[in-house]
Chain A
């Protein structure tokens, strides 16, 4: 396989995953805020969304002064914003287009349809129904595309590279989401809103990772912060947890590498070490220092990403 194509596949996976996570986060937070207990300030929600997507309130005057609707537009449909959902979809499709001769036509057509569905949203402002339908469409189309990735491709190098991109990104997105949520919780604690608020935030956290239902099945109880974090970081059976994605990253790297030896400094070595450090972790060890822990995780994931890029190009 051409190095350039390998790169396209990897990034196609990454952009698809980014679009999906961002869409789900916007969806969950924008709509759960409507019936949040004790007037959970809408600005916290928007703050949280912009923090998760990497649009920083604090440094950017322009963002700070945006109206709610404009902020939502910037995050969802604004093609001039490189971290909008629309830009992610465009990039995923461009990467797929660059590699389309080795993709199945079913997969390509599903990505292309996804792109055209997103293009149907043209307005500069979005009604609440449009925000809902757009974000749901993105999550839904991603699920379809992921289905074709799994069921219409050979599970060879091509598939492994897309998966590598997906899982690297999934771990990163989840970590960012957790950081945003932990910060939200710290902020609302200052408002002394009590237990109901914590539960509300935990549910939003789990829903943003499509993990609410399964965590209830797993714990057979209403979530608290400790359980939610344990579930999303350390549960090896839950496909969106950090540990699950780190294991998947390792599997993909094994499939792609011709050399089995894990040379020190290589991406395989680094990924293996990272996964191993998570394997024997308990929630008790990290819960008190959760923010520094998550920030360290994010750093490690950035490093992993750049090692993967180096390996491929």
Chain B
């Protein structure tokens, strides 16, 4: 028996292989297109390769001219600008499936907020031994400056980015929780614009949930957590500056919310309030949506060499005179080792069963798990608990003996630093591949965006579907050769 099925009958899909051991989002196991993809597929089938290349080029040029780019870190101070490759074939999520996801995302993030409040106050969850206290207290992201302090509305993770994948069993799994300034939402909005410009036809024949209300929702969330007694808060987006890889997003968000984009050097602290320096004097700032890491926000509290932050900011924050979004210290929870306890955390605080599944995780600090990991390196993905951006990841199935040995040593030296998970087979989605000029299956994931303010939760309908453009690759990060797709939540 063959383990893949070849599609026939249309030009640009003629070499498309539906692989049996993977979950294909567009085609079922017999190679039949799924119902909700039919219209979009028939549109692509009518296009010639030339049409498609033209559309592709058009979309790319529109991103490039708009400056929808990110910088890749290099020795060069300027950084190399790249566009985040964009694929024209949209990912579709039927509304029913989405509604369940949305519920799960909100449930998860509510529990995470209660957990954060607890670990910075009474620490009941630690005393009840649901989560080992050592795990929290040894985290570099657990900040003593946050102990005993309650942010407005008890909200810590105002913006969170839950990363989800669909496994070959057809179920969604949470891969990680991004609770420190998750990025990518600007691509969702830009992708949608690009799709509307390039494939307007198919838009009119589907009933797609809009995404354009995100900036409005974001602003109203930001305003909802302003300090007590401030009626008309001045809100700003704090960026590390234009050499940051996500600068485009920072300026995009500030512009679409109609608020000021500031750098650390634009702000100062006086008498426990934060001010910005303007052409006509100083103006008080009430809420800071910062895209600067905890370590850098206040050189008097954290890294003294930081020039990206504001000296004295944490003092104003603790006095309740300014709100910082997300709250400092949330990183103690998006640690990959804490991730493994999230199902227990949900049960503990909400007395509910978790709606979203967790990937089974082996914690190298536990003796039994460590043993299993050491003996099954080839079947596992090993990740450092405190790195982001896909760096330092070990992929067992592709490793050489020498690499395995090297990683085993690294784990043995610092077991607390590593977790391991079975290799999840991310679902695949038809994606136009420039080199072959055909549609081919590529692995995808989904980053969702959830907002939590005083008395309101909001999940962006859809989110960012990231594609690993390299054949067979499971790494979707933009810095490592990933691309993205527009994501449609479909009614009916």
Contact = CB atoms under 8 A, between A and B. Distances in A.
Interface of A: 1-4, 6, 94, 97-98, 100-102, 105, 108-109, 112-113, 116, 157, 256, 258, 312
B277 interface: yes
Given A2-B278, A256-B279, A105 B261 contact: no
Given A3-B278, A4-B265, A258-B280, A112 B67 contact: yes
Nearest to B247: A97
Interface string B390-403: 00000000000000
B255 A100 contact: yes
A4 B280 contact: no
Given A2-B277, A4-B277, 20 more contacts: A1-B279, A1-B280, A2-B262, A2-B266, A2-B276, A3-B266, A4-B263, A4-B265, A4-B266, A97-B242, A100-B251, A101-B252, A101-B260, A105-B66, A109-B66, A109-B67, A112-B66, A112-B67, A116-B64, A116-B65
Contacts of A94: 242
B12 interface: no
Contacts of B266: 2-4
A113 B255 CA distance: 20
A77 to B, nearest CB: 16
Contacts, number: 52
24 contacts: A2-B260, A2-B266, A3-B266, A3-B277, A3-B279, A6-B279, A94-B242, A97-B67, A97-B242, A97-B251, A100-B251, A100-B255, A101-B251, A101-B254, A101-B255, A101-B261, A102-B255, A105-B66, A108-B66, A108-B67, A112-B66, A112-B67, A113-B65, A116-B64
Return the 5 tightest CB-CB contacts between A and B, nearest first.
A101-B255, A101-B251, A101-B254, A101-B261, A6-B279
Contacts of B277: 2-4
A313 to B, nearest CB: 9
B349 to A, nearest CB: 39
A100 B248 CA distance: 9
Contacts of A258: 280
Interface of B: 64-67, 241-242, 247, 251-252, 254-255, 260-263, 265-266, 276-280
B74 to A, nearest CB: 16
Contacts of A101: 251-252, 254-255, 260-261
B186 to A, nearest CB: 12
A156 to B, nearest CB: 12
Majority secondary structure, A binding face: helix
B416 to A, nearest CB: 41
Contacts of A98: 241-242
A207 B247 CA distance: 41
B453 to A, nearest CB: 22
A113 B66 CA distance: 9
Nearest to A102: B255
Contacts of B254: 101
Contacts of B278: 1-3
B240 to A, nearest CB: 12
B307 to A, nearest CB: 13
A94 B276 CA distance: 22
A109 B279 contact: no
Contacts of B66: 105, 108-109, 112
Contacts of A100: 67, 251, 255
Nearest to A116: B64
Nearest to A105: B66
A97 B242 CA distance: 7
A108 B251 CA distance: 12
A43 B266 CA distance: 48
Contacts of A113: 65
Nearest to B283: A2
A14 B266 CA distance: 22
A130 B241 CA distance: 35
A312 B279 contact: yes
Contacts of A108: 66-67
A312 B280 CA distance: 9
A233 B260 CA distance: 41
Contacts of A312: 279
A129 to B, nearest CB: 25
Nearest to B69: A112
Contacts of A4: 263, 265-266, 277
Nearest to A111: B67
Nearest to B263: A4
Contact of B279 (A2, A97, A102, A105): A2
Interface centre among B67, B265, B276, B280 (most CB of A within 10 A): B67
Contacts of A2: 260, 262, 266, 276-279
A100 B66 CA distance: 11
B65 A109 contact: yes
Nearest to A101: B255
A235 B443 CA distance: 67
A97 B79 CA distance: 14
Nearest to A2: B266
A102 B254 CA distance: 9
Contacts of A157: 279
B209 to A, nearest CB: 25
Contact of A112 (B65, B252, B263): B65
Nearest to B237: A101
Contacts of A105: 66
Contacts of A3: 266, 277-279
Contacts of B252: 101
B245 to A, nearest CB: 14
